[in-house]
Amino acid sequence: MNILEAIILGIIQGATEFLPISSSGHSILIPTILGLQEPSLNAVIIAHEGTLLAVLIYFWKQIMEIVQGVWRGLTSGAPLGNPEARLGWYIVIGSIPAAIIGLLFEDAFETRFATPRYAAAFLIVTALFLVMGERLISGEKKLDRMSWFDAIFIGLFQMFALFPGVSRSGSTIVAGLLRGLNRELAARYSFLMSIPVIAGAGLLGVKDLIQEGNLMTQLPSLIVVFITAAIVGYACITFLLNWLRQRSLYPFAIYCATFGALYLLVDFLR
């Protein structure tokens, strides 16, 4: 992988991890369209860690408040005694469904669905999710009114992201909107839920990364991937949170539907 390919991979991962347009779908379709070689396992892992750094930096203050809140709750004998502690446990509970299904069936999903045609088709599914979320918005629920059922419901929607082309951020934001969360809280909760998902994937990939053995020869391009993914990821978190304060998800739905449909049409004609 040369430096240009490293920059492209970093941009794709950084942008699509947080914008509701599917990182998995774009990681399949963009290299296919541009005729690029498939990125190495090392590069994919490092790109994910770049996006993890982005979300950790952006939400560092809130993450520390959550950690301190959970600790206060545990030491005082009231584990749910403050809003920060409840949010922390909501994130844990919401992450469990996708973690279990991912560990059990991720290889099967990748073997069966990790093709450009499926990725394009599932981009259209992402578009439908986003439209559904906008059409069925039901409230302005804030964190103090969020419930365990909300966390589980959003966690179940996160499982759809196992299909390449279905956006993790898109599906979880829509699930939050369907449960009546206000737009900013739905997006913030989605981004916070990404931390255990990305961190878990990174830990599982460390063993493979070490076993691949040629890490040092790829080091310059891997550094570029990491930095690019982190910078673009941070920018996209900032952009989406500002966007959702006053604007809808429809532009992202139009993009996903158009991209997916055009690829399927060209592939069919070809």
Report DSSP letters for 8-52, one per residue.
HHHHHHHHHTTSTT-HHHHHHHHHHHHTPPPPPHHHHHHHHHHHH
Q: Averaged over 96-124, what is the pLDDT?
A: 85
Tokens of 32: 């296919």
DSSP tag of 143: G
Cβ-Cβ contacts under 8 Å for 162 (sequence gap 6 or more) = 98, 101, 102, 105, 106, 109
Question: How distant, in Å, are the alpha carbons of 185, 238, 261 from that of 188?
Answer: 5, 11, 30
165 within 8 A of 123, measured Cβ to Cβ: yes
Number of structural domains found in the chain:
1
230: how many CB neighbours lie within 10 A of its CB? 23
pLDDT digits (tens, 9 = 90+) for 40-75: 767 788 888 899 999 999 999 999 999 999 999 988
Contact at 8 Å (CB) between 16 and 240? no
Q: What is the pTM of this model?
A: 0.88
Is the distance from CB of 53 to CB of 46 less than 8 angstroms?
no
Range list of H helices, the chain: 3-16, 23-34, 41-58, 60-75, 83-113, 116-135, 148-158, 168-178, 183-212, 219-246, 250-269
Tokens of 120: 């394009």
At position 253, the amino acid (one-letter code) is: A
The size of the chain, in residues, is: 270
β partners of residue 181: 141
Range of the domain at 37: 3-269
Q: What is the pLDDT of residues 23-43, one digit of tens each?
A: 889 988 988 888 877 777 677
**CA angle (201 as vertex; 41, 210 as ends), nearest 5:** 45
> Percentage of the chain surpassing pLDDT 70?
93
CA–CA distance, 77 with 73 (Å, rounded to integer):
6
pLDDT tens digit sequence for 196-243: 888 877 776 666 666 666 666 677 888 999 999 999 999 999 999 999
Q: Which pair of tokens denotes residue 86? A: 């409840």
